[in-house]
């Protein structure tokens, strides 16, 4: 019943915000990507309730070489939650109240904004609400951030047609990404970042290669592609899947198609280079092929969560079209 009420409240918020004539003016929201404003009493933040929020909501982001939190939490005391302090894009607001409740709303103090209000008689009750609804909160905040990231990408979206020309797919990515390798069946784009690069690669495979596909097959496929197309800095060096780190391997959907999602670590054989990657393999039934798109980062000694979030957000914009051959 609690979750049904939550979705109902979120739906009401969405519908009310879509009718601009009925919606009072709210300012633009602000904040870095993957930030959440947390409002509660200082004693609660320093006590068990704050610990629960950090453990449940700011849990570890999968697939990074060093643990980083899924979100950066920005703490505010209730007295400071006024004016500009209410403009965060994601807000988690705790209030002591005799009526226990958990609610989600959109665009209450700023736009776009997700506001989660947790009310309870004591910290224990409010902590239970967070534990019970952690997955919902994480998914809602993540989707809000993905949409915001894509909106920002749209301000400087590349007009290059490399993906369209070669694979018959569209992809939204910033102009900072430039093509560094374009062969018969392989495309590699690169963007310079602090101390390194962000990279996108794509290629197509026969659909038959996905029969009985598993993590072992994924590793073998990546390593063979790395040997062919992704060299290291030294002679006879190339990208492989890091053997000391077991990747996360899931079944998911992308562009409306079944896909295999892998998050893990790459390294360069015979060289000292490594970093995280995210790999999607789609069953592209429209074109009777397997289509692979991967993002990987090389940025030694710097945080990589937001880099990987950018690559994931770009990949989420993928759209398939029928190629001329089909």
Parse the chain into domains and list their residue ranges. Answer: 2-154, 156-320
pLDDT score at 67:
96
Query: CB-based contacts of 242: which residues, under 8 Å, 6+ apart?
Result: 264, 265, 266, 267, 274
Least reliable range by pLDDT among 9-23, 95-109, 237-251: 9-23
pLDDT score at 17:
46
Q: Specify whether the CB–CB gap between 208 and 296 falls below 8 A.
A: no
pLDDT score at 324:
60
pLDDT score at 112:
97
For the segment 287-306, what is each residue's pLDDT rounded down to a tens digit?
A: 999 999 999 999 999 999 99
Report the SS3 class of residue 286: coil
Helices (H), the chain: 2-18, 42-45, 48-56, 123-155, 162-167, 215-229, 305-315
Query: CB-based contacts of 153: which residues, under 8 Å, 6+ apart?
Result: 172, 173, 174, 313, 314, 317
Mean pLDDT of the chain: 92
Q: What is the mean pLDDT of residues 253-277?
A: 95
Is 3.40.50 the CATH classification of the domain at 2-154?
no
The percentage of the chain sitting over the pLDDT mark of 90, rounded to a whole number, equals 87
pLDDT score at 69:
97
Query: Would you place residue 24 in the very low, low, confident or very high pLDDT band (cuts 50, 70, 90)?
Result: confident
pLDDT score at 212:
87
User: Looking at residue 65, what DSSP letter applies?
Assistant: S
Q: What is the mean pLDDT of residues 153-166?
A: 95
The percentage of the chain sitting over the pLDDT mark of 70, rounded to a whole number, equals 91
Q: For strand 35-39 and strand 72-76, is the pairing parallel, antiparallel, or unpaired? A: parallel
pLDDT score at 11:
42
Is 3.40.1000.10 the CATH classification of the domain at 156-320?
yes
pLDDT score at 6:
45
Residue 18 pLDDT greater than 50, yes or no: no
Quote the CA–CA distance of 155 and 31 in Å, as a whole number.
17
pLDDT score at 2:
42
pLDDT score at 1:
37
Least reliable range by pLDDT among 67-71, 87-91, 210-214: 210-214
Query: Would you place residue 14 in the very low, low, confident or very high pLDDT band (cuts 50, 70, 90)?
Result: very low
pTM: 0.90
């Amino acid at each position: 019943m609690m979750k049904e009420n939550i979705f109902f409240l979120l739906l009401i918020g969405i519908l009310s915000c879509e009718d601009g004539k009925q919606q009072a003016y709210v300012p633009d929201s602000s904040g870095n990507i993957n930030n959440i404003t947390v409002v509660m009493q200082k004693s609660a933040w320093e006590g068990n309730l704050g610990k629960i929020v950090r453990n449940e909501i700011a849990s570890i982001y999968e697939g990074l070489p060093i643990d980083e939190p899924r979100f950066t939490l920005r703490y505010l005391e209730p007295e400071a939650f006024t004016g500009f302090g209410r403009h965060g894009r994601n807000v988690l607001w705790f209030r002591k109240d005799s009526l226990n409740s958990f609610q989600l709303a959109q665009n209450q103090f700023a736009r776009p904004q997700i506001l989660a209000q947790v009310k309870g008689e004591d910290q224990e009750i409010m902590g239970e609400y967070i534990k019970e609804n952690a997955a919902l909160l994480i998914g809602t905040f993540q989707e809000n951030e993905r949409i915001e990231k894509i909106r920002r990408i749209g301000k400087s979206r590349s007009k290059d047609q490399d993906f369209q020309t070669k694979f018959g797919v569209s992809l939204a990515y910033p102009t900072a990404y430039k093509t560094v390798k374009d062969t018969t069946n392989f495309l590699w784009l690169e963007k310079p970042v602090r101390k390194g690069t962000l990279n996108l690669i794509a290629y197509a495979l026969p659909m038959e290669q996905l029969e009985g596909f598993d993590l072992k097959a994924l590793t073998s496929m990546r390593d063979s592609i790395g040997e062919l197309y992704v060299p290291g800095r030294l002679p006879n060096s190339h990208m492989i899947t890091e053997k000391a780190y077991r990747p996360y391997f899931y079944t998911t959907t992308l562009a409306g198609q079944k896909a295999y999602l892998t998050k893990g670590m790459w390294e360069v054989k015979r060289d000292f280079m490594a970093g995280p990657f995210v790999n999607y393999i789609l069953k592209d039934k429209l074109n009777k092929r397997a289509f692979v798109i991967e993002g990987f980062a090389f940025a030694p000694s710097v945080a990589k969560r937001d880099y990987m979030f950018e690559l994931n957000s770009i990949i989420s914009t993928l759209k398939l079209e029928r190629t001329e051959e089909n």
